[in-house]
Structure 1
Amino acid sequence: MSKTAQSVWENCLEFIKDNIQPQAYKTWFEPIVAVKFADNALSIQVPSKFFYEWLEEHYVKILKVALTKQLGENAKLVYIIKMENTYGNKQPFTEKIPSSNRTAVKAQDVDIPLNNKSPELRNPFIIPGIRNVKIESQLNPNYNFENFLEGDSNRLARSAGLAVAAKPGGTSFNPLLIFGGVGLGKTHLAHAIGVDIKDKYPEKTVLYISAEKFTQQYIDSVKKNNRNDFIHFYQIIDILIIDDVQFLSGKSGTQDVFFHIFNHLHQNGKQVILTSDKAPVDMQDIEQRLLSRFKWGLSAELQSPDFETRVSILKNKLYRDGVEMPEEIIEYVAKHIKSNIRELEGAIISLIAQSSFNKKEITTELAKQVVEKFVKNTKREVSIDYIQKIVSDYFQMDIDTLQSKTRKRHIVQARQLAMFFAKKFTKASLASIGSQIGKRDHATVLHACKTVDNLSSTDKQFRKYVEDLTKKLSV
């Protein structure tokens, strides 16, 4: 009887099932589909690249033993990745991982043909005919709009990004400055805009670069005495994306050269996209003439996602990775990890790892253990909600009273302290702080911070408030 892909794989599964825990088998082997068997090579389809990498890292030995038992020492395994890009998007694509003439079940022998280019920027300053030189965009195609899920926390920034991608340099959002705290998706959104522009306008030159690398290139150009070539190179870019622009703080030479590059691009209808962990109004040691240009277009803030958005993000992550998880577990993780998206996705990966390594089923109890450890081992960024709770508890009032319009002195001071600590302990903009603490504007927050500074140096009792609250918030 001739062997088929299905029969070979079923025999392999019988062996695997007997040698691993039921939960691991259900998570990592049940979703696999046998696709083809030819020339002693079995092709299996897995749900995602994450899924493939997990198998290769954790189950390569048992796969090799199982396949060798069925097909002998010359057995080969070929992975086919079939991944539906986004939760709810039903258009799959397939990526084949070839085994060549090697035994592909050896993890170190498998090569995945990635589209990512060298991270080193090709800077063709000294090449004649610079306009004809192809400049690699440095974009990551995995960061796209399809997996950047929309919610109340990012709707303005995402919508502006889509508008810029549809008409780069042709909207009033130029520059587009995306700002917000760590792990909220600034870099993802910046890449997504660039990827979409490259898709719609392949003839346009798009370049993504970090402000740190831009600075280093400028320093190198000064050392090599080719500053003009450096400027000329950046002036031919159609869409310039600079990540973490706050890194330019205090670097007057780099700010000066960026000022000239920015002016040239803007005047010629080119698009500039910037990301920062601060709003322009909160940036320090950036020249005023540069800050004024940052404000020419739109500054869009990314805030911490709400519960519904966090659930959607987790479902999307699991869907793309081809891993199933009970709804109540997803909601538990989303409820307890609120600070940023990076931590949220990290917690889910930790949960999958704990389940596989410790041979435990994914339960609410296991999720609780993982989340507690994860939160404890992750540097905590104090939230504005948490600050308001600590301040209101300290002054024995509820949060509604703290946020109220009353002008009673002790309530006003408590509110001003909450604003002061929100500016000190978070990366939120003044406007965002004011919005979350009683719907005030950024000028009120600025006034509150100055008042707290003044009273701390003149009022002994008030200074004690500041010291006590600092200790509580620094724990």
Structure 2
Amino acid sequence: MGDLGDADGLWNNCAASIRAQVSDAVWRTTFSGAKAVAFDEGELVLVVPNGLQKERIEGRYLGLVQDAIDETAAHDVSVRVEIDTDWSTDDTPEIELPDADLGLTTPAPSTAGRDEKFTFEHFVIGPSNRFAHAAALSVAETPAASYNPLFIHGDSGLGKTHLLRGIAHYVASHYPTYRVRYVSTETFLNEFVEAIRTNTLPEFKRRYRDIDVLLIDDIQFMEGKDGLQEEFFHTFNELHQNNKQIVLSSDRTPDAMPTLEDRLRSRFKWGLITDIQRPDLETRIAILSKKAESKTIEIPHDVLLFIAENITESIRELEGALIKVTAYANLTQQPLTVDLASLVLGDLITNNQKKPVTAQRIIEMTAEMFGFEVEQIIGGSRRRPLVDAR
């Protein structure tokens, strides 16, 4: 078990960075009471007072936490969040107010800089997301000229937020006079509730209607909230009628939201609906390679292949697995091998899921990735492309 002092020191530095980036409400309802209890094998373990905070951090702010760790730690460190069973349940926060600072309204260089990794240049394209990426880029290049609204759906952790933020950053960079706002549905909801409470609805309406591009993440959370749907219906209408771009993301299609009002459902289908699927093996390898390159990590191809073949649920899990393996190797001063990766990722991969990486499998994957036949890879040709593939 790692030294608790190291865990406290790392978390205190990260917490200071996070505190500077979120509102008082978010800090109070999401991070208050969080503490580090372990730092071992390249993994920082945090405990929080209740399940609500755990869910909020993992579902909304895990990227922010990981960014703070990346900036603070000398080596790659992953994070795991658990519930502190010793904490009284009476301490559960009563309200949820997400961070309004996640909005991006140009010009906003500080916000854009904080999320610089969420650009089109950092998005790995593959068969599972190629169409969604092309649609997002088209919208970014010519807002409101086509695909309005653009509706992107897919499971959590596959890149929807990356595309929305990529659009926001592209427009902010190429159209400096455009007013751009990216928010989560949760942020939109709580700003709406706060506007009602403080009798500032006119300011709220102006904030979301007097803009050129509106991007809202996780629109499925509007389900069952009649007042919010009513407000967004009028916001949508005003933006669309004034030829302003709307981009929405969701974990499901509009037709799969039973408590969404029909008038909103029909409007969500006015433009283009596209999905993002789980990345195939080749794309997963490319994602891992790009992540390793960005971290200046040299990792053997067979280790990349092992991780890519065994971690398949989401890009977030895939990158987390890479960080965990490389951090363990660095901290224990061991070489990066498939055996080491299998050991470190044992809690993520059940025995019946593990796929062995054989020499034949590596040859087959190499041939597929470089567009050759297996016979060409194992043959004697000294053509440069074949030599590079080998």
Q: Which residue of 1 aligns with 2:134?
A: 159
Give the C-alpha shift of residue 228 in structure 1.
2.8
Gaps of 5+ in 2: 1-67, 78-97, 354-390
Change in Cα spacing, 1:262 to 1:246, as seen in structure 2 (3 Å) is same
Residue 74 of structure 2 is matched in structure 1 by 55
Q: What is the percentage of aligned positions where both structures have the same residue?
A: 38
CA-CA distance at 1:142 after TM superposition? 1.7
- What corresponds to 1:314 in structure 2? 288
- Please report how far the alpha carbon of residue 166 of structure 1 lies from its aligned counterpart in structure 2 after TM superposition: 0.6
Counterpart Cα distance in 2 of 1:225 and 1:199: 35
Counterpart in the other structure of 1:184: 158
**CA distance in 2 between partners of 1:358 and 1:276 (Å):** 41
Deviates more, 1:201-210 or 1:229-238: 229-238
For 1:51 and 1:211, the matched residues in 2 are separated by 27
Shift of 1:225: 2.0
Counterpart in the other structure of 1:331: 305
Structure of larger gyration radius: 1
Superposed displacement of residue 336, structure 1? 0.9
How far did 1:269 drift?
0.8
How much has 1:354 moved relative to structure 2? 1.4
Q: How does 1:217-228 map to 2 (within 5 A)?
A: 217-228=191-202
Partner AA of 2:310 in structure 1? H
CA contact (8 A) 1:51 1:322 kept: no
**1:290 alignment partner, one of 241, 253, 264:** 264
Matching residue of 2:210: 236
Distance 2:295 2:287 in 1: 12
Contact 1:122 1:136 in 2 (8 A): no
**Size of the alignment, in residue pairs?**
262
**Which residue, 152, 159, 169 being the options, matches 2:144?**
169
| Secondary structure at the counterpart of residue 373 of structure 1 | coil
- 8 A Cα contact 1:198 1:206, kept in partner: yes
Amino acid at match of 2:122: N
CA drift at 1:279: 0.8
User: Displacement of 1:135 after TM fit?
Assistant: 6.7
Q: Is the 8 A contact 1:136 1:207 kept in 2?
A: no
The residue type equivalent to 1:182 in the other structure is S
Match of 1:262 in 2: 236
Spell out the pairing of 1:98-117 with structure 2 (5 A cutoff): none
Structure number with higher relative contact order (C-alpha < 8 Å, ≥ 6 residues apart): 2
Q: Could you tell me which residue of structure 1 aligns to residue 49 of structure 2?
A: none
Taking the TM superposition and a 5 Å limit, the aligned residue runs for 1:33-182 are 53-55=72-74, 120-121=100-101, 136=108, 138-139=111-112, 140-171=115-146, 173-182=147-156
Specify the alignment match of 2:338 in structure 1.
Answer: 364
Tell me how far apart the structure 2 counterparts of residues 271 and 146 of structure 1 sit (CA, whole Å).
22
The question of 1:211 aligning with 2:185 is answered yes
- 1:232 and 1:144 map into 2 onto residues whose CA distance is 28
What are structure 1's unaligned runs of at least 5 residues? 1-48, 59-117, 124-132, 381-475
Alpha-carbon distance change, 225 to 122 in structure 1, aligned in 2, over 3 angstroms: farther
Please list the CA deviations of residues 1-44 of structure 1 after superposition, one character each: whole Å capped at 9, or x if unmatched.
xxxxxxxxxxxxxxxxxxxxxxxxxxxxxxxxxxxxxxxxxxxx
Judged with a 3 Å threshold, the aligned counterparts in structure 2 of structure 1 residues 51 and 284 are, in CA distance, closer, same or farther, namely: closer
